[in-house]
């Protein structure tokens, strides 16, 4: 049911990886009177930071997206969710009566426009939670204190390098109930976040089985989720990752939508502390075991000897004229035994050659030939 809603309410005015204030402002203006749209403050470069409030219920949820400016998938999923809440679907009334949602669609509008992880002062806002040196961090803290939420949702993207431990599948969605201390103990605050993650996981397994990961819970008080959890607020980290052939992440956004709606409408079972923790820990660990491309059994001549090697390439995301270009660069040569590629080629012992020589080199573009016949351009075999 939730996937059907995700398809039905997908905001067709938003697509691709580049999402800025200019992309969302008109969409926010179209929301009905059940929404309260506010300008909460300004970024380093004086851009508006918007909030969207919905609902009148007792359970208060504070959520924010694009803390890292180049992580836009959850913003699209959030705007899709607003599109749903803007409808007359009978489920909307249930959410409105049970919850009060306060959402920041783009916390880092300067980073979003420049398509960078950091803000305009080159500070990672997710490492500024304790010191709060930046205007965006101060605004987030002020809203947290004034709203006094029952739950926080920290919405992010993760790179294509992550898979789920014990499988050969990418980590399409990953979650974390952050730690509150360096021992990574479980308490009632984490327990509440874990119950919601387990509900979300149950729904996602129906559409992307075995592609849900559990993020590393090493404690860092400078990270916003760890800080809020240490203050007694259950906080959930959402990480939108890779799905097959979806580098624009216009499919993954649907799984963000499902995650959001199932967290509010999912059926919570009456279970005890230990069983919920056990179920959470069964979710596979999120691990770095993927490349965008792996080329196997490539023949080279080195020191006058023929040998077979494997090498990998990764897309570098480059902002060009308001769009994101994906530029494939060689990033790893050999030592790929426990790695997978989103695209893999068996090169069957054919000789490597390129404009810069007959050996693949790190940081060079993945443009090359095999046996001087097969052409690979930007990582892909050109047929």
| pLDDT in the model for residue 46 | 98
Q: How far is CA 213 from the centre of its chain?
A: 12
pLDDT at residue 45, rounded to an integer: 98
**Overall average pLDDT of the 270-296 stretch:** 94
**298, 311 in Cβ contact below 8 A?**
yes
| Structure tokens, 249 | 């992440």
**Backbone φ, ψ for residue 8 (5° rounding):** -70, -40
| Distance from C-alpha of 66 to C-alpha of 116, rounded to nearest angstrom | 10
Helix boundaries (H) for the chain: 2-8, 21-29, 73-85, 90-98, 109-114, 135-147, 188-204, 224-230, 252-265, 273-282
∠ CA 183-187-188 to the nearest 5 degrees?
A: 160
- Backbone φ, ψ for residue 203 (5° rounding): -75, -40
Q: Is pLDDT at 14 greater than 90 in this prediction?
A: yes
Task: Return the structure tokens found at 96.
Answer: 């409105």
User: What pLDDT does residue 267 have?
Assistant: 66
- CATH 2.30.40.10 residue window(s) in the chain: 290-382
> What percent of the chain is modeled with pLDDT above 70?
99
Q: Say if residue 158's pLDDT is above 90.
A: yes
Please say if the pLDDT value at position 270 is more than 90. no
Is 94's pLDDT higher than 70?
yes
Cα dihedral 128, 132, 136, 140 sign: positive
pLDDT at 268 over 70: no
pLDDT at 337 over 90: yes
Find the mean pLDDT for residues 21-39. 97
pLDDT of residue 1: 84
pLDDT of 296 higher than 80: yes
Judged against a pLDDT cut of 80, whether residue 121 lies above it is answered with yes
Query: Does the pLDDT of residue 85 top 90, yes or no?
Result: yes
Complete edge-to-edge strand list for the sheet that includes strand 352-353: 352-353, 368-370, 374-377, 380-382
The pLDDT, as a whole number, for residue 175 is 98
Domain with CATH 3.40.630.10 in the chain: 2-288
Residue 17 is predicted with a pLDDT of 97
Contact 348, 340 (CB under 8 A): no
Could you give the CA distance from residue 60 to residue 234 in angstroms, rounded to a whole number?
Answer: 11
pLDDT band, very low/low/confident/very high, at 271 (cuts 50, 70, 90): confident
What confidence score (pLDDT) does residue 54 get? 98
Mean pLDDT computed over every residue of the chain:
97
How does pLDDT run across 235-257, given as a tens digit for each residue? Answer: 999 999 999 999 999 999 999 99
Q: Which fold does the domain 290-382 belong to in CATH?
A: Urease, subunit C; domain 1 (2.30.40)
pLDDT band at 304 (very low <50, low <70, confident <90, very high): confident
What per-residue confidence (pLDDT) applies to 323?
94
Question: Cα 189 to the chain's mean position, in Å?
Answer: 23
Average pLDDT over residues 156-169: 96
Residue with token string 């939508």: 257
pLDDT of residue 303: 87
Fold of 2-288: Aminopeptidase (3.40.630)
Residue 269 pLDDT: 64
Q: What's the rounded mean pLDDT across residues 177-192? A: 97
Q: Is the pLDDT of residue 97 over 90?
A: yes
Rounded to two decimals, the pTM is: 0.96
Q: Is the pLDDT at 335 greater than 80, yes or no?
A: yes
């Amino acid at each position: 049911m939730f996937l059907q809603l995700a398809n039905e309410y997908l905001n067709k005015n938003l697509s691709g990886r580049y999402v800025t204030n200019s992309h969302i402002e008109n969409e926010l203006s179209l929301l009905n009177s059940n929404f309260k749209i506010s300008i909460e403050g300004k970024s380093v470069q004086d851009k508006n930071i918007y909030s969207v409030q919905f609902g009148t219920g007792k359970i208060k949820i504070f959520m924010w997206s694009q803390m890292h400016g180049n992580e836009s998938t959850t913003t699209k999923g959030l705007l899709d969710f607003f599109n749903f809440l803007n409808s007359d679907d009978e489920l909307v009334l249930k959410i409105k009566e049970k919850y009060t949602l306060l959402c920041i669609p783009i916390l880092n509008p300067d980073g979003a426009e420049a398509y960078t992880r950091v803000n305009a002062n080159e500070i990672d806002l997710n490492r500024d939670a304790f010191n709060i040196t930046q205007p965006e961090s101060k605004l987030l803290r002020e809203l947290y204190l004034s709203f006094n939420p029952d739950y926080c949702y920290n919405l992010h993207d993760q790179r294509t390098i992550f898979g789920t431990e014990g499988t050969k599948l990418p980590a399409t969605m990953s979650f974390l109930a952050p730690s509150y201390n360096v021992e990574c103990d479980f308490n009632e605050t984490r327990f509440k976040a874990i119950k919601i993650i387990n509900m979300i996981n149950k729904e996602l397994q129906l559409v992307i089985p075995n592609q849900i990961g559990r993020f590393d819970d090493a404690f860092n008080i400078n990270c916003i989720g760890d800080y809020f959890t240490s203050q007694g607020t259950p906080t959930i980290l959402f990480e939108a990752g890779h799905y097959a052939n979806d580098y624009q992440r216009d499919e993954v956004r649907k799984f963000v939508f499902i995650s959001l709606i199932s967290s509010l409408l999912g059926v919570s079972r009456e279970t005890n502390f230990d069983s919920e923790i056990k179920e959470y820990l069964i979710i596979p660990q999120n691990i770095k075991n993927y490349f965008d491309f792996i080329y196997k059994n490539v023949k080279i001549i080195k020191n006058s000897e023929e040998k077979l090697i494997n090498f990998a390439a990764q897309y570098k995301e480059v902002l060009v004229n308001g769009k994101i270009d994906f530029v494939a660069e060689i990033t790893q040569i050999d030592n790929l035994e426990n790695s997978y590629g989103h695209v893999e080629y068996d090169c069957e012992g054919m000789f490597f050659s390129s404009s810069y020589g007959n050996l693949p080199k790190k940081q060079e573009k993945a443009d090359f030939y095999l046996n001087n016949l097969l052409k690979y351009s930007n990582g892909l075999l050109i047929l």
